Amino acid sequence: MTVRQTLATATTALARVGPTPRLDAELLMAHALGIPRNAMIMAHLDDAVPDTFAPLLARRLAHEPVAHLTGLRGFWTIDLEVGPGAFIPRPDTETLIEAAVAHFGDRSPATILDLGTGPGTLLLAALDQWPDATGLGVERSDAARAYALRNTARLGFGDRAEITGGNWADGIDRQFDLVLSNPPYVAEDEGLPREVLDYEPAEALFGGPDGLDPYRVLAGELPRLIAPGGVACVEIGWTQAATVAALFTAHGLNVACRSDLGGRDRCIVATLR
């Protein structure tokens, strides 16, 4: 069978696994061919299917994330190496970068802090957005931090980004123009899809009994971390805006909420009063 024919049958099979079966099939096929997806679509649909595609498809049908199968995930303007032990970036999280761009306009933040950076997601995307900035990414997971270090080197940000271990902002005694964080915010009893629950690290998902424990920590830390004129952009679950806003307001911050492309509350934007 050709690539074109196999993509059609794979799309039908993958329809029971997730909401983007055609995209999943194309990404896996391009990975098996060893070429970019766009190049495959433009010039290789009538090629023979490589033997490596069938095992990839079987693993995806068992709900293994596409990003684990290909080893890469696009986010904002960069591609990140991801895999077991590192939280896979989601498009919704780009809302935080959009909020930061809106805050700074034609200015650039000089210093950036990413609390819970995972594989370097928000920090490295922000450094790509603002080439004159430097930043610090804090990650307590050894596995996720290893991905962040590799991504920092691969993207050429070694002289602009520091990746360190730590628990939130413990031991950090300076201010930053931009503070970013995508904390774990899933409640402990909340149901999750198999590809999330079985493959994502639990410490990147669950935020305590009500999902709000990280925000209680961040609410007390952000006022001392945000530099004058700076901003913090923090991801939230789509039902958590009012509660998180109240926590941050109680610690003296001005807050606003920004929605993702689906119209759901996704980012709390916090500034100093």
Instruction: Give pLDDT tens digits for 201-239.
Output: 999 999 999 999 999 999 999 999 999 999 999 999 999
* 4: pLDDT strictly greater than 90: yes
Q: For residue 165, what are the contacts with CB-CB under 8 A and spacing of at least 6?
A: 138, 139, 140, 142, 145
Report the percentage of the chain scoring pLDDT > 70: 100
Q: What is the pLDDT of residue 104?
A: 98
Averaged pLDDT, 165-187: 97
What pLDDT does 167 receive?
A: 95
What are the residues facing 176 on neighbouring strands?
Answer: 226
> What is the side-by-side order of every strand in the sheet holding 111-115?
161-164, 134-138, 111-115, 176-181, 226-235, 265-272, 253-259
pLDDT band at 189 (very low <50, low <70, confident <90, very high): confident
What letter represents residue 154's amino acid? R
Give the CA count within 13 Å in the CB-facing half-sphere of 3: 23
Do residues 186 and 87 touch, judged by C-beta distance below 8 A? no
Instruction: Look at the block and give the residue holding tokens 């080439």.
Output: 131
Report pLDDT for 157: 98
Percent of the residues in the chain that have a pLDDT greater than 90, as a whole number: 99
| Structural domain boundaries in the chain | 3-62, 76-272
Tell me if the domain spanning 3-62 has CATH number 3.40.50. no
pLDDT of residue 136: 98
For 150, 198, 206, the CA distances from 191, given in Å and listed in that order, are 32, 12, 11
Instruction: Reply yes or no on domain 76-272 having CATH 1.10.3720.10.
Output: no
pTM of the model: 0.94
Q: Whole-number mean pLDDT of the chain?
A: 97
**Cα–Cα distance between 96 and 109 in angstroms, integer?**
14
Same topology, domains 3-62 and 76-272? Answer is no
**Spatial separation of the C-alpha atoms in residues 36 and 38, rounded to whole Å:** 6
d(CA 140, CA 138): 7
* Structure tokens given for 147: 């991905």
What pLDDT digit, counting tens, does each position of 78-116 carry?
Answer: 999 999 999 999 999 999 999 999 999 999 999 999 999
